[in-house]
């Protein structure tokens, strides 16, 4: 007797995270289809003086590490995955908020003293005013953009077929508001009877797809373990 087919899941985040997610999906019993909706375009930037660092993405850590040899500063990360990448890059003093940017802001304000110079380095499309909030609490916070998320010109093969009305996967994973925005634009531009189920890592990532996706499941916590749990409930429901 043949084994039942594994649900096919479209992974839309950029590399190298997309392949890492695919590996986790395969281990959880899914078949992963990797078609990033955007790529990471890095650019040079002048880094101001700082005493501590804040990162809201793993790509921010990678780009900073390529631009600066400093590894002596305290580092504050939005979640466990970003914190792991920071440690792999050579930072020793790393704290994780294990939550959203608001939680990260609370953590930084609690641990840093007044007058500390904090640098938030990351995506030029960064959402939320982390530096503004911290500056109002007496921390000298600044933001420097190190990369941008560049949308792909056209949907990948599986997404193109699905948007045209041919079921090509059971659900889509959306890891960020940027990914949600891009997917929403592609759905609006499609001419076929697209019916898409989405598992999103946060309410912010899901928001652009409200009214466009057939069903949306949101992770209970903004991490990939919770995201895959939400996905499992979605495809089995």
Residues 128 and 96 in one domain: yes
Sequence-ordered strand ranges (E) for 108-186: 117-123, 140-151, 171-174
Query: Does residue 215 lie within any of the structural domains?
Result: yes
Residues 94 and 125 in one domain: yes
Residues 231 and 212 in one domain: yes
Last residue of one domain, picked from the residues 149, 170, 202? 149
Q: What is the pLDDT of residue 2?
A: 52
The Cα 79–Cα 76 span in angstroms is: 9
Instruction: Report the CATH number that the domain containing residue 189 is assigned in CATH.
Output: 3.40.50.10090
Segment among 45-49, 100-104, 110-114 with least mean pLDDT: 100-104
**φ and ψ at residue 159, rounded to 5 degrees:** -65, -40
Please name the residues in contact with 34: beta carbons below 8 A apart, sequence gap of 6 or more: 11, 18, 19, 22
Segment among 45-54, 112-121, 191-200 with least mean pLDDT: 191-200
Residues 57 and 141 in one domain: yes
Query: Does residue 1 lie within any of the structural domains?
Result: no
Last residue of one domain, picked from the residues 149, 175, 202? 149
Residues 77 and 140 in one domain: yes
pLDDT in tens, 128-187: 678 888 888 889 999 999 999 899 999 999 999 999 999 999 999 999 888 999 999 999
Residues 157 and 142 in one domain: no
The Cα 151–Cα 118 span in angstroms is: 30
Find tokens 């916590």 and name the residue. 221
Residues 74 and 128 in one domain: yes
Q: What is the pLDDT of residue 1?
A: 46
Query: Does residue 2 lie within any of the structural domains?
Result: no
Edge-to-edge order in the sheet of strand 31-34 = 31-34, 8-11, 171-174, 197-200, 215-218
Last residue of one domain, picked from the residues 102, 130, 149? 149
Instruction: Report helix angle 80-88 to 58-67, nearest 10.
Output: 20
Q: How many domains does the chain have?
A: 2
Domain that holds residue 16: 8-37+152-236
Does residue 57 have a pLDDT over 70?
A: yes
Report residue 127's pLDDT band, with 50, 70 and 90 as the boundaries.
low
The Cα 159–Cα 74 span in angstroms is: 41
The Cα 231–Cα 74 span in angstroms is: 35
Query: Does residue 218 lie within any of the structural domains?
Result: yes
Please name the residues in contact with 20: beta carbons below 8 A apart, sequence gap of 6 or more: none
On the CB side of 87, CA atoms within 13 Å amount to 9
pTM of the entire predicted model: 0.85
As a whole number of Å, the end-to-end CA separation of the chain is: 25
């Amino acid at each position: 007797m043949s084994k039942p087919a594994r649900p096919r899941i479209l992974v839309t985040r950029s590399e190298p995270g997309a392949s890492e997610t695919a590996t986790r999906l395969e281990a959880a019993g899914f078949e992963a289809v990797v078609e990033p909706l955007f790529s990471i375009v890095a650019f040079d930037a002048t880094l101001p003086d700082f005493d501590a660092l804040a990162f809201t993405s793993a790509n921010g850590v990678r780009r900073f590490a390529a631009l600066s040899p400093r590894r002596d500063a305290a580092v504050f990360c939005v979640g466990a995955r970003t914190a792991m990448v920071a440690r792999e890059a050579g930072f020793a003093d790393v704290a994780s908020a294990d939550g959203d940017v608001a939680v990260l802001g609370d953590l930084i304000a609690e641990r840093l003293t007044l007058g500390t110079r904090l640098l938030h380095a990351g995506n030029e499309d960064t959402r939320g005013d982390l530096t503004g909030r911290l500056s109002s609490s007496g921390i000298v916070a600044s933001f420097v953009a190190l990369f941008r998320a560049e949308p792909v010109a056209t949907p990948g093969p599986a997404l193109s077929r699905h948007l045209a009305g041919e079921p090509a996967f059971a659900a889509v994973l959306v890891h960020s508001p940027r990914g949600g925005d891009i997917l929403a634009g592609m759905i609006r531009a499609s001419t076929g009877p697209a019916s898409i189920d989405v598992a999103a890592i946060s309410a912010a990532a899901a928001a652009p797809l409200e009214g466009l996706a057939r069903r949306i499941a949101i992770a209970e916590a903004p991490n990939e373990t919770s995201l895959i749990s939400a996905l499992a409930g979605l495809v089995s429901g």
